[in-house]
Structure 1
């Protein structure tokens, strides 16, 4: 519980003890006073409960949503829920005069969104009929890079990701998605695009940003149109399911969107009869995002296959963000299609070597190898911002750029716009930075020491560079570095569930254009399209069947650096293959398992798990099982059936126990695989368990926001909360490094997950106003015996 909530509860309890007629009773035999606990709704997340700032929250009612009631065999009607909601709103407005209801929900979520002063939120907890209060968090359309393709340069062969997963073979077999409806919950969609207009009828969806019935993509937006093309394009390019019907729901404006509109989009898509929904959006919160998760879970229960992107914050573990953290929805990681790898040597003046130089990314093999043709001038362009290129002649030259400040892809896009034919990006700290496939220019990366050599060469007047680039090896499908990794905090689930192509994906762009984008946003619609193909063939399948088929038939993605399959929390069950999913004769559900935490200091702990095996064939099948944890660690023992006979068309439950002796195991998480064999093929089911307190990151981000009243909302993202929390301000140097210490803005204790926020007046030591501009906000977190101190770039404005 955070300090704000603690103070609010202390005040509330003091009020109860003084004023409540039923809050305490005295014993007949002594004078001891017994305080009766007040029955209140739960508050989830960390809300600034002492601030007067207008805050939007999501309220969940005790009354069940229509779908939850239906799934539990109970009766619920829209009229009844409206009446119940009306009573609650009426009582709420008696308690909070400045409460303005915005969205109302009844189908897959029962409740409403409301804006009120933050210091009035506690009053909601005592209003009869309110079950819980959730934060209204921010969502973004997630893209790593964008490159619009001119009509002259466009070729249908660029859309090679759909055939790679086997879509063309599915089309040849007669499965194109016909008769299946896919909802794209995104930034809207250009339904007039020549490759998309076939998929839309008279009713096209809804715009929750402008609150009208026209989900046309907003000016300057393109994300939803690109996602829609990957699902359903049928023109110059073909999406995975080119004959599906599409519905568009615009929930993200130019600055993103919030939970209240995302939940509204999910709810309407289910009511409109969608069979599949795609949510290529997300935030950085590694936690099941309560209101959205509830809505997605009930959408899946109602028969709508929900597909979400896993996030673009990789390659470290614990970086998956909501809604990719959802328990039921299919979350998708990003792979890169097979590519060629190259070695590079650079030369400036005699005797100067750059051993750390590596190819970082490139738009095509031809453009990369073209750098071998002659010598080039190179020009230092600082951090690579547009301003850094002003007044500099980069035409036909190489841009030398420092890491820091903003994304690599933007640096290279800016270099290209300035006329450069290539780029070198050097690290601003020790070590090597990530590869970024598909950059707009051929780009070489170096470590800091070699970057400093290049700067020294320029100082000495040596501004010419040459390249020797040679083919090294062909690399198979790989996981994209940017793809977020699991596990999920609190549920300890493996995420993503599956992976799909997400690097340099060519698809539709508003107007009549096409663009190459990359991100897990581009991976998810491959899976949504595949789900549509499965539903066309198997109209009676439940959502769990579709998820199981995709997970059970996915293929391992191999890490070229190790020759071994990537970890489960990197790739999920693997990269999807459409034909194999269409032809599977066995479904194992759920497609992955977590045994959770084993925290005993001594001795053995046993946890149970089970899954269903469904035999889709017309013959009885004898299944056998083998469970293996990576490295076969002593201390983990799994007990399950050796064999199981399942009749044709029938399902059977398989139970298994895992016994963990924590005294024989180091703390950490252990991945394993359940091998299910029918004698011909083997289905791999990923599994995971944790020994001791999981090593999730204690802080995953920070922010500073002008509230408009002279104060600033400063906060951090805390997946597991914090016992001690501190915020320090430092100078941000122009070269992207951290400068001197300025002040400590605040220290706190017992902050709850997943967000902590406080109000800051904009001043530092001795009441000095901190000037507007870029600063470094460093967050100190201490939780469950682990400390972290991380720095984030913020802007005061």
Structure 2
């Protein structure tokens, strides 16, 4: 083996990937002292060199109540408690100061435990332990809109997905309970109070029955409002109206001060919501771990199996592939991406005196197209209004005029509103710093923006006595619904599933928030993120369940996916990839009125890795005919570009009687010799003679382009060190090289030697013992760079991690 080093800056976070990777290279002094271990699985990045007390989630081999039920096995809480007790007793014998915090038995079997991080490997050897997960931080998936951009008139997203049409059809979420697992909820907000009964939910942060948001002044962190915003999107019914305004809400506070929390509380919240009888649950939270077998993802899968529609945000780490994180990686839960609502684009020119140009002039925002275009009708008097505060308009006549306003101090929309209240028919807002400021949909008056330089020119015109301005505003184009760049993309590692499943509006979403101001405690705010998209889908699920109370979770999910509309990328004019938008943007009334359900709503054929010849994979889906008559279904499968080498074989047509369900089998034959390695996506088209349902599908030729190594660790035991790495796809060849650490430059130093080489290593984790020696000599304690070389399916990676040998 030859692995060359290249200079590399090192992150000073413990056990974290470096900012770039090594190229192939350099030496192979293989250790003779490496012995592989067989243990329970250990997930995540853990600093095994640390003695700091750390919380972990332990999953047991004994099945949870729901898992056993779904598998037709006998299980009881008493029996599960006994099995758990044995593991806990063994653990406390091995680690004397281990402290068990929470115990789980309903949708997840295990417990959370606090112990020194360098003792976690002791847990892996205990009989009955299936896996150990770090108690990772979960944060809200929301990006607060700049206060200058906030507009209380933005609430167009619920009607956009068809909620108002569903209300007109008689479906408002009545009788359906939605659990909001989040930062808590201000259940006293006048738009939300109707949705809560005497039992509000549970607070897992403070362990009491009051799941309110975190107020200001908590020494543990900042105040929160995220869960209230999410709850309003689901079920507000007041000044604003959520998707399911008559739904019942339950709040579970699992994210505390500052809007962050941990796995142990999130899993506990999922368990409690299922046991409390929720019909739908919303989790607008996430982490960056792309793994379907994470504690939260597992809990959501079993919640779905128990009949609770679980909806979760896909994450805000886009736009690259593989950025979806748990619990969005769940096999069964509905993961949601974020879109931006459609908008019109106009060009704008402004004129004052001859020869003076304002090249930066652009349309910033407007209440309607008609009001904007009225600015083309003649000349207007221009009047300076300073910062646009209400006081800046006093004593001046703005009726029928244009207000010239400087950016600064407070929100753009307030400036425009003050201009409207003073009688102005439009506004020009110039920047107070270099550069361009944001567009703001829905301003109270048509508003043009300029740079600071052009603003100074306008002020100079006024000082010179030139007080008139005219406009030339021209329609440029309409931009339809688009995917938000921040929305995380799939696929999911190991399962290679498409994620998100569907998308919904998530940009500039206005909803309820607590102000934490005793004099005016209830307000509204605009946030954006997949956190805002998920509750649109949770609310839609509530409407569907009211309309179809006997539907199972798979029917609800299929209805949303089968009726979703394609989202078009304006940059290309083509449909966004499946792993950007899922099946598309939801349309709730169409979902309610479905007369055919195709489940699953998307398919992954996985990977085809034969070097030559054909490989066949078999799949199936079910079709449920909900109509009043028998239907004939035909099938077609199209892969983008119609690549030679992919053939799908299925029935030409199928007759299904009304009310019946039938399974459809199909085979996919891939000749890898005729295809370049890579990602291929297609669409299964199911046609009943009058309409077509598009089912997204993907496959990979060769090993997918997921990261081959995602972390490494080194931890001290009594007489040896545990060394390992995280390998999503395993490794045909795996090697660990040690380098000196150049602390002055934060870079890799001189090579020291190879401490372990292995072959045919299975996923997802590898671990071995090391005696602390390199080439027969003990390596002194200190900071080093541990570089991990992986070769898998023709792809090589070499990544480095800063570690400490103690």
Match of 1:68 in 2: 67
1:299 CA displacement:
0.2
**Deviation by residue 1:28-70 (Cα, 9 ceiling, x = unmatched):** xxxxxxxxx86x4222234333332222211111221111111
Residue correspondence of structure 1 range 176-187 to structure 2 within 5 A: 176-187=172-183
Matched residue SS, 1:249: strand
1:296 and 2:296 equivalent?
no
Residue 344 (structure 2) aligned to one of 340, 353, 362:
340
Match of 2:219 in 1: none
1:606 and 2:616 equivalent?
yes
1:491 and 2:519 equivalent?
no
Query: Relative to 1, partners in 2 of residues 1:716 and 1:599: Cα closer, same or farther, differing over 3 Å?
Result: closer
Match of 2:44 in 1: 45
Conservation of the 8 A alpha-carbon contact between 1:341 and 1:472: yes
Query: Relative to 1, partners in 2 of residues 1:150 and 1:332: Cα closer, same or farther, differing over 3 Å?
Result: closer
Structure 2: distance between partners of 1:283 and 1:779: 25
Matched residue SS, 1:128: coil
Cα RMSD (Å):
5.0
Match of 2:11 in 1: none
Structure 1: distance between partners of 2:32 and 2:81: 34
Deviates more, 1:359-368 or 1:603-612: 359-368
Structure 1: distance between partners of 2:327 and 2:450: 33
Matched residue SS, 1:59: strand
Match of 2:396 in 1: none
Match of 1:135 in 2: 134
Conservation of the 8 A alpha-carbon contact between 2:60 and 2:128: yes
Structure 2: distance between partners of 1:695 and 1:687: 17
Match of 1:632 in 2: 642
Structure with max Cα Rg: 2
Conservation of the 8 A alpha-carbon contact between 2:317 and 2:487: yes
Conservation of the 8 A alpha-carbon contact between 1:624 and 1:678: yes
1:160 and 2:156 equivalent?
yes
Q: Which has the higher contact order (CA 8 A, sep 6+)?
A: 2
Residue 240 (structure 1) aligned to one of 216, 239, 243:
243
Matched residue SS, 1:654: strand
Match of 2:144 in 1: 145
Structure 2: distance between partners of 1:246 and 1:163: 21
Match of 2:333 in 1: 329
Match of 1:618 in 2: 628
Query: Relative to 1, partners in 2 of residues 1:144 and 1:359: Cα closer, same or farther, differing over 3 Å?
Result: farther
Query: Relative to 1, partners in 2 of residues 1:239 and 1:606: Cα closer, same or farther, differing over 3 Å?
Result: same
Structure 1: distance between partners of 2:312 and 2:166: 23
Match of 2:324 in 1: 320
Matched residue SS, 1:306: strand
Query: Relative to 1, partners in 2 of residues 1:244 and 1:79: Cα closer, same or farther, differing over 3 Å?
Result: same
Match of 1:268 in 2: 272
**Deviation by residue 1:93-115 (Cα, 9 ceiling, x = unmatched):** 00111211111101000100111
Deviates more, 1:43-52 or 1:596-605: 43-52
Query: Relative to 1, partners in 2 of residues 1:10 and 1:108: Cα closer, same or farther, differing over 3 Å?
Result: farther
1:671 and 2:671 equivalent?
no
Residue 662 (structure 2) aligned to one of 652, 661, 682:
652
Query: Relative to 1, partners in 2 of residues 1:358 and 1:568: Cα closer, same or farther, differing over 3 Å?
Result: farther
Conservation of the 8 A alpha-carbon contact between 1:622 and 1:646: yes
Query: Relative to 1, partners in 2 of residues 1:161 and 1:479: Cα closer, same or farther, differing over 3 Å?
Result: same
Query: Relative to 1, partners in 2 of residues 1:780 and 1:768: Cα closer, same or farther, differing over 3 Å?
Result: closer
Match of 2:523 in 1: 513
Query: Relative to 1, partners in 2 of residues 1:436 and 1:612: Cα closer, same or farther, differing over 3 Å?
Result: farther
1:292 CA displacement:
0.8
1:282 and 2:286 equivalent?
yes
Query: Relative to 1, partners in 2 of residues 1:549 and 1:193: Cα closer, same or farther, differing over 3 Å?
Result: same
Conservation of the 8 A alpha-carbon contact between 1:230 and 1:526: yes
Structure 2: distance between partners of 1:267 and 1:411: 44
1:436 CA displacement:
8.6
Structure 2: distance between partners of 1:506 and 1:420: 23
Residue 703 (structure 2) aligned to one of 693, 707, 712:
693
Structure 2: distance between partners of 1:364 and 1:499: 26
1:170 and 2:169 equivalent?
no
Query: Relative to 1, partners in 2 of residues 1:580 and 1:10: Cα closer, same or farther, differing over 3 Å?
Result: farther
Residue correspondence of structure 1 range 205-220 to structure 2 within 5 A: 205-219=201-215, 220=223
1:200 and 2:196 equivalent?
yes
Query: Relative to 1, partners in 2 of residues 1:54 and 1:163: Cα closer, same or farther, differing over 3 Å?
Result: same
Conservation of the 8 A alpha-carbon contact between 1:675 and 1:682: yes
Matched residue SS, 1:83: helix
Conservation of the 8 A alpha-carbon contact between 2:742 and 2:749: no
1:148 CA displacement:
6.1
Structure 1: distance between partners of 2:330 and 2:541: 18
Conservation of the 8 A alpha-carbon contact between 1:93 and 1:99: yes
Structure 2: distance between partners of 1:13 and 1:168: 64
Structure 2: distance between partners of 1:138 and 1:702: 19
Conservation of the 8 A alpha-carbon contact between 1:88 and 1:128: yes
Conservation of the 8 A alpha-carbon contact between 2:147 and 2:411: no
Query: Relative to 1, partners in 2 of residues 1:324 and 1:664: Cα closer, same or farther, differing over 3 Å?
Result: same
Structure 2: distance between partners of 1:507 and 1:546: 25
Structure 1: distance between partners of 2:574 and 2:177: 38
Matched residue SS, 2:145: strand
Residue 680 (structure 1) aligned to one of 690, 695, 718:
690
Structure 1: distance between partners of 2:503 and 2:142: 16
Query: Relative to 1, partners in 2 of residues 1:555 and 1:79: Cα closer, same or farther, differing over 3 Å?
Result: same
Conservation of the 8 A alpha-carbon contact between 1:423 and 1:443: no
Query: Relative to 1, partners in 2 of residues 1:10 and 1:118: Cα closer, same or farther, differing over 3 Å?
Result: farther
Conservation of the 8 A alpha-carbon contact between 2:176 and 2:279: yes
Matched residue SS, 1:298: helix
1:530 and 2:540 equivalent?
yes
Residue 556 (structure 1) aligned to one of 566, 573, 576:
566
Structure 1: distance between partners of 2:450 and 2:530: 24
Match of 1:106 in 2: 105
1:562 CA displacement:
2.3
Matched residue SS, 2:549: coil
Conservation of the 8 A alpha-carbon contact between 2:192 and 2:236: yes
Query: Relative to 1, partners in 2 of residues 1:228 and 1:377: Cα closer, same or farther, differing over 3 Å?
Result: closer
Residue 226 (structure 1) aligned to one of 208, 229, 232:
229
1:590 CA displacement:
0.3
1:558 CA displacement:
1.6
Matched residue SS, 1:89: helix
Conservation of the 8 A alpha-carbon contact between 1:436 and 1:481: no
**Deviation by residue 1:486-512 (Cα, 9 ceiling, x = unmatched):** 111221111110011111111111132
**Deviation by residue 1:7-41 (Cα, 9 ceiling, x = unmatched):** xx999969xxxxxxxxxxxxxxxxxxxxxx86x42
1:471 CA displacement:
3.9
Conservation of the 8 A alpha-carbon contact between 1:527 and 1:576: yes
Structure 2: distance between partners of 1:168 and 1:575: 16
Query: Relative to 1, partners in 2 of residues 1:178 and 1:474: Cα closer, same or farther, differing over 3 Å?
Result: same
1:730 CA displacement:
11
Structure 2: distance between partners of 1:292 and 1:136: 10
Structure 2: distance between partners of 1:783 and 1:337: 44
1:696 CA displacement:
2.8
Number of residue pairs the alignment of both structures matches: 674
Residue 477 (structure 2) aligned to one of 473, 488, 495:
473
The answer for unaligned runs of 5 or more in structure 1 is: 15-36, 379-394, 400-408, 414-418, 428-433, 458-465, 704-714, 732-739, 757-766, 770-776, 793-797
Structure 2: distance between partners of 1:52 and 1:96: 12
Using the size of structure 2 for normalisation, the TM-score is 0.73
Query: Relative to 1, partners in 2 of residues 1:471 and 1:783: Cα closer, same or farther, differing over 3 Å?
Result: farther
Match of 1:565 in 2: 575
Query: Relative to 1, partners in 2 of residues 1:439 and 1:423: Cα closer, same or farther, differing over 3 Å?
Result: farther
Conservation of the 8 A alpha-carbon contact between 2:280 and 2:308: yes
Matched residue SS, 2:580: helix
1:338 CA displacement:
1.1
Query: Relative to 1, partners in 2 of residues 1:440 and 1:143: Cα closer, same or farther, differing over 3 Å?
Result: farther
Match of 1:118 in 2: 117
Using the size of structure 1 for normalisation, the TM-score is 0.74
Match of 1:25 in 2: none
